[in-house]
Amino acid sequence: MSNPTHLQYTKEHEWLAAAVDGVSTVGITAHAADALGDIVYVQLPAVGDTVTAGETCGELESTKSVSDLYSPATGEVTEVNQAVIDEPALVNSEPFEGGWLFKVRVEATDELLDADGYTAFTGA
Amino acid sequence: MSLRLTALDALHRSLGATMTDFAGWDMPLRYGSEREEHLAVRTRAGLFDLSHMGEITVSGPQAGELLDHALVGFISALGVLRARYTMICREDGGILDDLIVYRTAEDEYLVVANASNAQVVLDALTERAAGFDATVRDDRDAYALLAVQGPEANGILAKLTDADLPGLKYYALLPATVAGREVWLARTGYTGEDGFEVFCAPADAEHLWTALTEAGTAEGLVPCGLSCRDTLRLEAGMPLYGHELSTELTPFDAGLGRVVRFDKTTNGGEFVGRKALEEAAAQAESNPPRKLVGLVSEGKRVPRAEYAVVDAEGTVIGRITSGAPSPTLGKPIAIAYVDAAHAEPGTAVAVDVRGRAEPVEVVALPFYKRAR
């Protein structure tokens, strides 16, 4: 699956959408979801939590392993995706769409990659 | 060192498999969703490439006596065309590997070792063969191994062979012609389902894989990788070497003392590890150390291998050996060694899942048993 050009990416395989009214949506990439295999449990930060760019803010469990979720941005969490909590497989089937994880009021980000940069980074 | 490839390597790649290094072999981890592959084996059928397994042929007039000496089982008592689950131990009782031994003829046996231990087993058998009129042959390159597992396995095989499948009992084997190729057809597996393992010439592997795939299409057979093989065996409560079994443990520690046959009559009853295993048996009887149990969680976070099992005070009372989300039960399950005082089914304990205690209940193994 190709990486959408309207998103920005981290080397920890999260994506960050452009802000709408200062709020950005966060998810993990198709590459990451594919590497994890079937995701069975998603632990997300709570609404109102402050997350910090580059630091862990949750975890994703798959059949074979557990992986930390790193926030691509610093800011307050405004919404979490209840649909992926109820049905974690959405992260596998729609990583860039219905499988989004949370929304954050972005104060700052680390250096992010564009789609071409991320694609090159993953060696795809 | 480059990875070893099975005879089906090109086929796995054409199917888009995610590959993984398993004991030096490049093996399919999964083709699509490992959960779907798991459920296919439970409800329909799955096709596996297990060519990494280590085949060793032991033959000669004293082949049975050699195996009685080298392994803990009473192998010479096995009927021709029957199979047995057994172990090979060190002199101190530590488990070198768990094995399936197939008696292929009056004076010939096929020993199947785990890929990770195949060389160790081969070396031990060769060394232990001294003084016996028997030969030990490395047949790892002589066989590819396919497995068809699941409730539809019998019907799928029946389309490709005239072999007497109804007469082929669990833990038995037959020389058979499948899809026009000569194979050893065994009713064995590592999934908790009915099924077959097909030992064939590597040159025939692709033909057989394709024929089985075509024969199984209507029944919903899918290719399956090692990821679902692991969750299938875990649900079935079957041990995996390197997790539940190791050189630090005896068969009695693992709750599998039944494989040790002190009643063997060959070689004057002597076999490698006997003395240490008698002591281990006595200790298991009077003062068991830790016991192998199942754990089921009502939560969502998964207890995984090496995590600590703790009591209500947070004291470590055991360690997880294998853990995964169970596709069949829909909740996390694990196998663990726990102190005997906490090993009773129904006991409430917890697992330290990365710093947070997750409540789990001790249950008897297996987690899953198929309806017969």
* Per-residue confidence (pLDDT) for residue A55, from 0 to 100: 96
Q: Exposed/middle/buried for B116, CB within 10 Å: 0-12, 13-18, 19+?
A: middle
Nearest by CB to A63, from B34, B300, B354: name it. B34
Measured CA to CA, the distance from residue B180 to residue B172 in angstroms comes to 21
Q: How far is CA A54 from the centre of its chain?
A: 12
Would residue A117 count as lying in a domain?
A: no
Which single residue is written with the structure tokens 């199947």?
B112
Structure tokens that stand for A105 in this block: 């009021």
Report which of B270, B360, B265, B276 is spatially closest to residue B318, judged by C-alpha positions. Answer: B360
φ and ψ at B99, to 5 degrees?
-140, 155
Within an 8 Å CB–CB cutoff, is residue A116 touching chain B?
A: no
Supply the ipTM of this predicted assembly.
Answer: 0.83
Measure in Å the smallest separation between the Cα of B324 and chain A Cα atoms.
Answer: 6
Structural domain span for residue A91: 8-108
Question: Can you give the residue ranges of every domain in chain B?
Answer: 4-51+143-235, 54-140+250-269, 290-363
Within an 8 Å CB–CB cutoff, is residue B16 touching chain A?
A: no
Going by their DSSP bridges, the two strands B25-30 and B135-138 should be labelled as: unpaired
Measured CA to CA, the distance from residue B301 to residue B298 in angstroms comes to 9
Within an 8 Å CB–CB cutoff, is residue A1 touching chain B?
A: no
Tell me the HSE value of B106 on the side-chain side, using a 13 A CA sphere: 1
Q: Are B219 and B28 in contact (CB under 8 A)?
A: no
Structure tokens that stand for A121 in this block: 């980074």
Number of domains present in the structure of chain A: 1
Would residue A57 count as lying in a domain?
A: yes
Q: Are B365 and B293 in contact (CB under 8 A)?
A: yes
Measured CA to CA, the distance from residue B243 to residue B306 in angstroms comes to 9
* Per-residue confidence (pLDDT) for residue B287, from 0 to 100: 86
Burial code of A31-65, b = ≥16 C-beta within 10 A, e = fewer? bbbeebbbbbbbebbeeebebebbeebbbbbbbbe
Would residue A113 count as lying in a domain?
A: no
State pLDDT tens for residues A29-52: 999 999 999 999 999 999 999 999
Would residue A1 count as lying in a domain?
A: no
* Per-residue confidence (pLDDT) for residue B288, from 0 to 100: 82
Q: For chain A, what is the total number of helices (H) and then of strands (E)?
A: 4, 9
With the CA atoms of A46, A48, A54 and A56 taken in that order, what torsion angle do they form, in degrees rounded to the nearest 10? -20
Measured CA to CA, the distance from residue A38 to residue A33 in angstroms comes to 8
Measured CA to CA, the distance from residue A37 to residue B281 in angstroms comes to 42
Report which of A53, B20, B16 is spatially closest to residue B6, judged by C-alpha positions. Answer: B20
Q: Are B264 and B68 in contact (CB under 8 A)?
A: yes
Walk along chain B (372 residues) and give the pLDDT tens digit of each residue: 689 999 999 999 999 999 999 999 999 999 999 999 999 999 999 999 999 999 999 999 999 999 999 999 999 999 999 999 999 999 999 999 999 999 999 999 999 999 999 999 999 999 999 999 999 999 999 999 999 999 999 999 999 999 999 999 999 999 999 999 999 999 999 999 999 999 999 999 999 999 999 999 999 999 999 999 999 999 999 999 999 999 999 999 999 999 999 999 999 999 999 999 999 999 998 888 899 999 999 999 999 999 999 999 999 999 999 999 999 999 999 999 999 999 999 999 999 999 999 999 999 999 999 987
Across the interface, whether the CB atoms of B301 and A63 are under 8 A apart is answered: no
Report the DSSP beta bridge partners of residue A76. A50, A105
Nearest by CB to A63, from B35, B300, B354: name it. B35
Query: What is the H or E stretch that residue A105 is in?
Result: strand A102-109
Residues whose CB is less than 8 angstroms from the CB of residue B2 and which lie 6 or more positions away in sequence, other chains included: none
* Per-residue confidence (pLDDT) for residue A64, from 0 to 100: 86
State pLDDT tens for residues B333-351: 999 999 999 999 999 999 9
Domain B54-140+250-269 has CATH 3.30.70.1400: yes
Going by their DSSP bridges, the two strands B18-22 and B4-5 should be labelled as: unpaired
The amino acid present at B302, given as its one-letter code, is V
Find the CATH number of the domain harbouring A102: 2.40.50.100
Mutate to test the interface with A, among B20, B227, B329 (most CBs of A within 10 A): B227
Collapsed DSSP state (helix, strand, coil) of residue B248: coil
Where do the DSSP E strands lie in B231-311? 290-297, 308-310
Q: Which chain A residue has the Cα nearest residue B20?
A: A35
Domain B290-363 has CATH 2.40.30.110: yes
* Per-residue confidence (pLDDT) for residue B111, from 0 to 100: 98
φ and ψ at A51, to 5 degrees?
-105, 160
Measure in Å the smallest separation between the Cα of A49 and chain B Cα atoms.
Answer: 19
Would residue A120 count as lying in a domain?
A: no
Q: Are B350 and B358 in contact (CB under 8 A)?
A: yes
Q: Which CATH architecture is the domain B4-51+143-235 placed in?
A: 2-Layer Sandwich (3.30)
Is B244 assigned to a binding site? no
Query: What is the H or E stretch that residue B260 is in?
Result: none
Cis ω before A4 (30° cut-off from 0): no
Report which of B252, B284, B270, B243 is spatially closest to residue B91, judged by C-alpha positions. Answer: B270
